[in-house]
Structure 1
Amino acid sequence: MIEKGRDERLAEAVALRGAGEREQARQSLVALSAEFPADAEVAYQTAWAHDVLGLEAEAVPFYELALAGDGLDGLDGLSDEDRRGAFLGYGSTLRGLGRYPEAVEVFRRGIAEFPEDNALRTFSAMALYNVGEHHEAMRTLLEVLAATSSDAGVQGYRAAIEHYAKDLDAVE
């Protein structure tokens, strides 16, 4: 019997998660992670498998490994798409665990790499709110709203929204 390779096993585990077989996917990915401990993609998929089961605390070390893998120090890096997803998942997980300052830092790192990613910016605003940075949170949300909304009313006031996003306390 021919043993399945890493890529095939990873694809099968991801397909299991997609098919709703989340616990089986998690178990497969944990085993794969043990076999490939320096594989950022496996770590990312393993973190995600924990998250979808509500096992956020268990996801944290896998997210950390996934984001450490940048091709340096013998770790394989993630694709840009997966790296964005890892920043979003990790930051959201930390926020969900009440680790707000750490979440803010993860989101800041993600936004530094992917400044146009509005999902990262939106989730970052939530974490900023949690650490009391209300002005920054509101500024971020207003910028995302102005840039992405297709609502005619919002677009009609886009310039004003963008202006006030810079300083909500401005008096004209």
Structure 2
Amino acid sequence: MQALIAERRDDDPAAIFEWASVHDFLGREAEAIPLYRRALELGLDPVRNSQAQIQLASSLRNVGETTEAVRILEGMEPDATVGDAHEAFLALALFDAGRPGDALRVALKALGKTLPVYRGAINHYADAIVDSK
């Protein structure tokens, strides 16, 4: 992959994103983070942009930067590429941030969208969860 990336310009956001993804996949999140940030700064196409935001937030969570991970994920909207995946990663980040009630609420609301019969009940119960903080 490194050889393929070397064939691209140094400021090619897609190449930088793919290189970040390689680092991430190998468990080298700390090295992936600045690459994701650079790719996002340079401007990614819509498909990679959503993925880069989620993967950046996931890497931040994995290195203990849960506050920034939550901020990124809370600012995302569902889209055709990743759907509501940001909500699953947000639930994980909230849990790691010591906000288990918020994490459960987000997870239940995401699940509720898929329930044809009990959506209303699940949303009601999710809204009633009080975080223990």
TM > 0.5: yes
RMSD of aligned residue pairs (Cα, Å): 2.0
Q: CA deviation at 1:58?
A: 1.1
Are 1:29 and 1:45, in contact at CA under 8 Å, matched by a contact in 2?
A: no
Query: Which of 146, 156, 163 in structure 1 is aligned with 2:112?
Result: 146
- Tell me what 1:86 maps to: 52
Match of 1:158 among 112, 119, 124: 119
Q: TM-score with structure 2 length normalisation?
A: 0.83
Q: What does residue 31 of structure 2 align with? A: 58
- CA displacement at 1:166 relative to structure 2: 1.6
Q: Provide the C-alpha distance between the structure 1 equivalents of 2:31 and 2:86, rounded to a whole number of angstroms.
A: 22
1:106 to partner: Cα distance: 2.2
1:47 aligns with 2:20: yes
Give percent identity, aligned residues only.
Answer: 36
Give SS of 1:132's match.
coil
User: Which structure has the greater CA radius of gyration?
Assistant: 1
| 8 Å CA contact 2:78, 2:85 repeated in 1 | no
The answer to whether the 8 A contact 2:109-2:123 is kept is: yes
The structure whose RCO (Cα within 8 Å, separation 6+) is larger is 2
**5+ unaligned residues in a row in structure 2: which ranges?**
none
Quote the Cα distance in structure 2 between the aligned partners of 1:115 and 1:132.
25
C-alpha separation in 2, matches of 1:29 and 1:60: 20
Shift of 1:54: 1.7
Q: Tell me, which stretches of 5 or more residues in structure 1 are unaligned?
A: 1-24, 70-76, 150-154
Query: Partners in 2 of 1:125 and 1:29 — Cα distance?
Result: 35
Aligned residues: 127
- TM-score, normalised relative to structure 1: 0.66
Alignment partner of 2:6 out of 20, 25, 31: 31
**Which amino acid is 2:101 matched to?**
H
1:115 deviation in Å? 3.9
- Taking the aligned partners of 2:65 and 2:124, their CA distance within structure 1 comes to 32
Q: Specify the code of the residue in structure 2 equivalent to 1:47.
A: A
The one-letter code matched in structure 2 to 1:143 is: K
- C-alpha separation between the residues in 1 aligned to 2:40 and 2:125? 35
Measure, in 1, the Cα distance between the counterparts of 2:6 and 2:36. 16
